[in-house]
């Protein structure tokens, strides 16, 4: 292939010079091309040698790392790990949706809603909901905790109803999840 390129190069030179190049000049240029090809091949061989040395050192270090492999966990161990990881942060997996009903005659507030569990393995129980009573300017008047004594299984939800009385001056009521126990 290299000789083909050198032939094309020489023929182009020869045709461009309108046959004014002597045979000696052609021989000199041909020798020059051969020398450049040798230099290129030497450079390529040097880079190949460096790459081979790098690969050998990498394979040596890889063989050391393979001997220090992390043990593979079974499916049940992976499930337990995921369950414990999810169980440590119940607020990341529990969410709620609620509606507020106020009875004018009795002054009773009825909060009905649903607690959702988006965890894939963890089951939670005894969910503690915090009800916060605030004024129109978001000044907190009071807060109370209510416990829902039920299980919330992974990917499911449970309904709840809280009946409470608001302190005087309450204009806003908020409900948040405070905590839950991992089962």
Q: Which residue has the higher pLDDT, 80 or 111?
A: 111
46/40 Cα distance (integer angstroms): 10
Whether the CB-CB separation of 33 and 6 falls below 8 Å is answered with yes
pLDDT of residue 8: 60
Report residue 111 CA to chain centroid gap: 37
**Which tokens belong to 30?**
């041909």
50 falls in which pLDDT band (50, 70, 90)? low
| Whether this model's pTM surpasses 0.75 | no
Q: Rounded mean pLDDT of 13-35?
A: 64
pLDDT of residue 9: 56
Q: Which residue has the higher pLDDT, 63 or 153?
A: 153
Question: What proportion of the chain, given as a percentage, has pLDDT over 70?
Answer: 72
Question: Which CATH number applies to 90-182: 3.40.50.920, 3.40.50.280, 3.40.50.300, 2.60.40.1620?
Answer: 2.60.40.1620
pLDDT of residue 75: 79
pLDDT digits (tens, 9 = 90+) for 69-106: 777 878 788 888 888 888 898 999 999 999 988 776 67
**Which tokens belong to 95?**
């969410």
161/116 Cα distance (integer angstroms): 14
Q: Which residue has the higher pLDDT, 4 or 131?
A: 131
pLDDT digits (tens, 9 = 90+) for 133-182: 999 998 999 999 999 999 999 999 999 999 988 888 888 899 999 999 98
Any residues with CB less than 8 A from the CB of 164 and at least 6 apart, and which? 108, 109, 111, 131, 144, 146
DSSP structure string for 65-123:
HHHTPPPPPPHHHHHHHHHHHHHH-HHHHEEEEEEEEE-TTT-EEEEEEEEEE--SS--
121/127 Cα distance (integer angstroms): 17
């Amino acid at each position: 292939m290299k000789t083909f390129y050198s032939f094309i190069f020489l023929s182009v030179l020869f045709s461009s010079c309108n046959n004014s190049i002597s045979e000696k000049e052609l021989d000199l240029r041909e020798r020059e091309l051969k020398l450049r090809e040798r230099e290129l091949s030497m450079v390529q061989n040097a880079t190949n040698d460096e790459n081979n040395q790098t690969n050998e050192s990498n394979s040596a270090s890889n063989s050391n790392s393979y001997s220090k492999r992390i043990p593979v966990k079974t499916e049940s161990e992976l499930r337990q790990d995921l369950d414990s990881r999810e169980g440590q942060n119940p607020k990341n997996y529990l969410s709620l949706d609620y509606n507020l009903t106020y009875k004018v005659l009795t002054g009773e507030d009825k909060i009905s809603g649903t607690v959702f569990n988006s965890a894939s393995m963890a089951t939670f129980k005894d969910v503690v909901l915090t009800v916060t009573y605030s004024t129109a300017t978001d000044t907190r008047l009071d807060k109370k905790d209510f416990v829902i004594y039920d299980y919330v299984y992974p990917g499911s939800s449970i309904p709840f109803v809280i009946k409470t009385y608001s302190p005087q001056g309450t204009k806003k009521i908020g409900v948040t999840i405070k905590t839950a126990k991992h089962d």
